[in-house]
A = this chain, B = another copy of it.
Amino acid sequence: MLYWFDLIGVGVFAVSGALAAMQAGLDLFGLLVLASVTAIGGGTLRDLLLNRHPLFWMKDSGYMAVIVACALLTAAIGQLSPSAMQALRIADALGLALFALIGVEVAENAGLRRVPALLMGTMTASGGGVVRDVLSGQVPLLLRRDIYATAAIAGIVLYQLLRAAGLPRNAAFVVGLVCAAGLRLAAIAYDWQLPSPRLVQ
Protein backbone atom coordinates (compact mmCIF):
# COMPACT_ATOMS: atom_id res chain seq x y z
CA MET A 1 0.00 0.00 0.00
CA LEU A 2 2.89 2.32 0.83
CA TYR A 3 4.23 1.45 -2.63
CA TRP A 4 1.10 2.79 -4.32
CA PHE A 5 1.22 5.99 -2.29
CA ASP A 6 4.87 6.30 -3.27
CA LEU A 7 3.97 6.03 -6.95
CA ILE A 8 1.28 8.68 -6.50
CA GLY A 9 3.86 10.99 -4.90
CA VAL A 10 6.19 10.37 -7.83
CA GLY A 11 3.41 11.19 -10.28
CA VAL A 12 2.50 14.43 -8.51
CA PHE A 13 6.10 15.57 -8.44
CA ALA A 14 6.46 14.68 -12.13
CA VAL A 15 3.50 16.93 -12.96
CA SER A 16 5.08 19.75 -10.97
CA GLY A 17 8.35 19.27 -12.87
CA ALA A 18 6.54 19.25 -16.21
CA LEU A 19 4.71 22.48 -15.35
CA ALA A 20 8.02 24.15 -14.38
CA ALA A 21 9.52 23.01 -17.70
CA MET A 22 6.65 24.55 -19.68
CA GLN A 23 7.02 27.78 -17.74
CA ALA A 24 10.77 27.85 -18.45
CA GLY A 25 10.16 27.22 -22.18
CA LEU A 26 11.93 23.86 -22.34
CA ASP A 27 11.32 21.42 -25.17
CA LEU A 28 9.87 17.93 -24.85
CA PHE A 29 13.16 16.34 -23.86
CA GLY A 30 13.76 19.03 -21.23
CA LEU A 31 10.24 18.46 -19.94
CA LEU A 32 10.90 14.76 -19.45
CA VAL A 33 14.21 15.48 -17.72
CA LEU A 34 12.66 18.05 -15.39
CA ALA A 35 9.73 15.75 -14.56
CA SER A 36 12.18 12.93 -13.75
CA VAL A 37 14.59 14.89 -11.57
CA THR A 38 11.73 16.46 -9.63
CA ALA A 39 10.13 13.08 -9.02
CA ILE A 40 13.14 10.88 -8.26
CA GLY A 41 15.98 13.38 -7.71
CA GLY A 42 15.57 13.57 -3.94
CA GLY A 43 15.40 9.81 -3.47
CA THR A 44 18.34 9.28 -5.82
CA LEU A 45 20.50 11.76 -3.91
CA ARG A 46 19.54 10.06 -0.64
CA ASP A 47 20.43 6.61 -1.97
CA LEU A 48 23.76 7.83 -3.36
CA LEU A 49 24.68 9.38 0.00
CA LEU A 50 23.60 6.20 1.82
CA ASN A 51 25.31 3.93 -0.74
CA ARG A 52 22.10 2.01 -1.45
CA HIS A 53 22.42 0.23 -4.78
CA PRO A 54 20.85 -0.50 -7.18
CA LEU A 55 18.77 2.69 -7.11
CA PHE A 56 15.05 2.19 -6.54
CA TRP A 57 13.99 3.31 -10.02
CA MET A 58 16.48 0.96 -11.67
CA LYS A 59 14.93 -2.06 -9.99
CA ASP A 60 11.30 -1.18 -10.61
CA SER A 61 10.05 0.07 -13.99
CA GLY A 62 6.89 1.46 -12.39
CA TYR A 63 8.57 4.72 -11.41
CA MET A 64 9.75 5.70 -14.89
CA ALA A 65 6.43 4.60 -16.44
CA VAL A 66 4.47 6.84 -14.06
CA ILE A 67 6.82 9.76 -14.66
CA VAL A 68 6.68 9.57 -18.46
CA ALA A 69 2.89 9.14 -18.45
CA CYS A 70 2.29 12.06 -16.07
CA ALA A 71 4.73 14.33 -17.89
CA LEU A 72 3.29 13.66 -21.34
CA LEU A 73 -0.26 14.04 -20.07
CA THR A 74 0.58 17.39 -18.51
CA ALA A 75 2.21 18.54 -21.74
CA ALA A 76 -0.82 17.41 -23.76
CA ILE A 77 -3.30 19.20 -21.53
CA GLY A 78 -1.07 22.27 -21.37
CA GLN A 79 -2.91 23.91 -18.55
CA LEU A 80 -4.51 23.02 -15.28
CA SER A 81 -7.90 24.33 -14.30
CA PRO A 82 -8.02 26.20 -10.96
CA SER A 83 -9.63 23.21 -9.29
CA ALA A 84 -6.97 20.86 -10.75
CA MET A 85 -4.27 23.22 -9.42
CA GLN A 86 -5.97 23.05 -6.04
CA ALA A 87 -6.00 19.26 -6.11
CA LEU A 88 -2.36 19.27 -7.21
CA ARG A 89 -1.35 21.42 -4.24
CA ILE A 90 -3.03 19.03 -1.83
CA ALA A 91 -1.46 16.03 -3.55
CA ASP A 92 1.92 17.78 -3.47
CA ALA A 93 1.60 18.31 0.30
CA LEU A 94 0.86 14.61 0.72
CA GLY A 95 3.79 13.68 -1.54
CA LEU A 96 6.10 15.94 0.44
CA ALA A 97 5.00 14.38 3.74
CA LEU A 98 5.20 10.84 2.38
CA PHE A 99 8.68 11.26 0.86
CA ALA A 100 9.93 12.81 4.12
CA LEU A 101 8.69 9.93 6.27
CA ILE A 102 9.82 7.25 3.81
CA GLY A 103 13.21 8.95 3.63
CA VAL A 104 13.74 8.98 7.37
CA GLU A 105 12.75 5.29 7.65
CA VAL A 106 15.17 4.35 4.87
CA ALA A 107 17.92 6.25 6.69
CA GLU A 108 17.08 4.59 10.00
CA ASN A 109 17.21 1.17 8.36
CA ALA A 110 20.64 2.10 7.01
CA GLY A 111 21.75 2.65 10.61
CA LEU A 112 21.91 6.43 10.68
CA ARG A 113 21.60 8.48 13.86
CA ARG A 114 18.82 10.95 14.36
CA VAL A 115 20.25 14.15 12.90
CA PRO A 116 21.64 12.62 9.69
CA ALA A 117 18.38 10.65 9.30
CA LEU A 118 16.45 13.90 9.61
CA LEU A 119 18.63 15.38 6.88
CA MET A 120 18.07 12.37 4.63
CA GLY A 121 14.29 12.60 5.06
CA THR A 122 14.31 16.31 4.28
CA MET A 123 16.50 15.71 1.24
CA THR A 124 14.23 12.95 -0.06
CA ALA A 125 11.26 15.30 0.16
CA SER A 126 12.82 18.49 -1.17
CA GLY A 127 15.97 17.58 -3.14
CA GLY A 128 14.09 17.04 -6.39
CA GLY A 129 12.47 20.48 -6.20
CA VAL A 130 15.86 22.11 -5.66
CA VAL A 131 17.39 20.42 -8.73
CA ARG A 132 14.27 21.26 -10.78
CA ASP A 133 14.67 24.96 -10.01
CA VAL A 134 18.44 24.98 -10.62
CA LEU A 135 17.93 23.33 -14.03
CA SER A 136 15.24 25.82 -14.99
CA GLY A 137 17.51 28.74 -14.08
CA GLN A 138 15.93 29.87 -10.81
CA VAL A 139 17.11 30.30 -7.27
CA PRO A 140 15.23 27.35 -5.70
CA LEU A 141 11.87 28.59 -4.45
CA LEU A 142 11.93 26.37 -1.40
CA LEU A 143 15.19 27.96 -0.25
CA ARG A 144 13.69 31.43 -0.58
CA ARG A 145 10.24 31.33 0.88
CA ASP A 146 7.26 29.22 1.95
CA ILE A 147 6.98 26.65 4.74
CA TYR A 148 7.80 23.69 2.52
CA ALA A 149 10.83 21.70 3.59
CA THR A 150 10.20 23.00 7.08
CA ALA A 151 6.88 21.14 7.15
CA ALA A 152 8.77 17.98 6.24
CA ILE A 153 11.26 18.63 9.06
CA ALA A 154 8.45 19.14 11.59
CA GLY A 155 6.78 15.86 10.59
CA ILE A 156 10.07 13.97 10.82
CA VAL A 157 10.97 15.42 14.22
CA LEU A 158 7.53 14.51 15.56
CA TYR A 159 7.97 10.99 14.19
CA GLN A 160 11.36 10.69 15.87
CA LEU A 161 10.02 11.99 19.20
CA LEU A 162 7.11 9.53 19.13
CA ARG A 163 9.45 6.66 18.27
CA ALA A 164 11.78 7.64 21.11
CA ALA A 165 8.72 7.68 23.39
CA GLY A 166 8.06 4.07 22.45
CA LEU A 167 5.25 4.42 19.90
CA PRO A 168 5.16 1.68 17.27
CA ARG A 169 6.64 2.57 13.92
CA ASN A 170 3.42 2.58 11.91
CA ALA A 171 1.60 4.84 14.35
CA ALA A 172 4.49 7.29 14.50
CA PHE A 173 4.69 7.22 10.69
CA VAL A 174 1.03 8.16 10.29
CA VAL A 175 1.15 10.93 12.90
CA GLY A 176 4.31 12.39 11.34
CA LEU A 177 2.69 12.20 7.90
CA VAL A 178 -0.43 14.03 9.02
CA CYS A 179 1.66 16.66 10.80
CA ALA A 180 3.88 17.38 7.77
CA ALA A 181 1.02 17.46 5.26
CA GLY A 182 -1.22 19.47 7.57
CA LEU A 183 1.46 22.03 8.30
CA ARG A 184 2.18 22.41 4.59
CA LEU A 185 -1.50 22.89 3.75
CA ALA A 186 -1.95 25.36 6.62
CA ALA A 187 1.09 27.30 5.39
CA ILE A 188 -0.53 27.57 1.95
CA ALA A 189 -3.92 28.55 3.37
CA TYR A 190 -2.59 31.21 5.73
CA ASP A 191 0.50 32.19 3.69
CA TRP A 192 2.90 31.39 6.54
CA GLN A 193 6.53 32.23 5.88
CA LEU A 194 9.81 31.60 7.61
CA PRO A 195 11.82 34.69 8.52
CA SER A 196 14.44 35.72 5.96
CA PRO A 197 17.51 36.93 7.88
CA ARG A 198 18.94 40.01 6.20
CA LEU A 199 22.35 41.57 6.24
CA VAL A 200 22.29 44.70 8.39
CA GLN A 201 23.86 47.48 6.35
Contact = CB atoms under 8 A, between A and B. Distances in A.
B115 A196 contact: no
A1 interface: no
A26 B21 CA distance: 23
B115 A61 contact: yes
B23 A199 contact: yes
Interface stretch (A3-11, A43-51, A92-100): A43-51
A78 interface: yes
A69 interface: no
A116 B199 CA distance: 39
Nearest to A36: B119
B78 A29 contact: no
B195 A27 contact: yes
A22 B198 CA distance: 5
Nearest to A146: B27
Nearest to A153: B29
Contacts of A136: 139
A135 interface: yes
Which residue of A112, A134, A139, A201 has the most chain B CB atoms within 10 A of its CB atom? A139
24 contacts: A18-B197, A21-B197, A22-B199, A27-B146, A27-B196, A28-B195, A28-B196, A29-B148, A29-B149, A30-B140, A30-B142, A50-B54, A51-B51, A51-B54, A58-B112, A61-B115, A75-B197, A78-B197, A78-B198, A78-B199, A79-B200, A134-B134, A135-B143, A137-B138
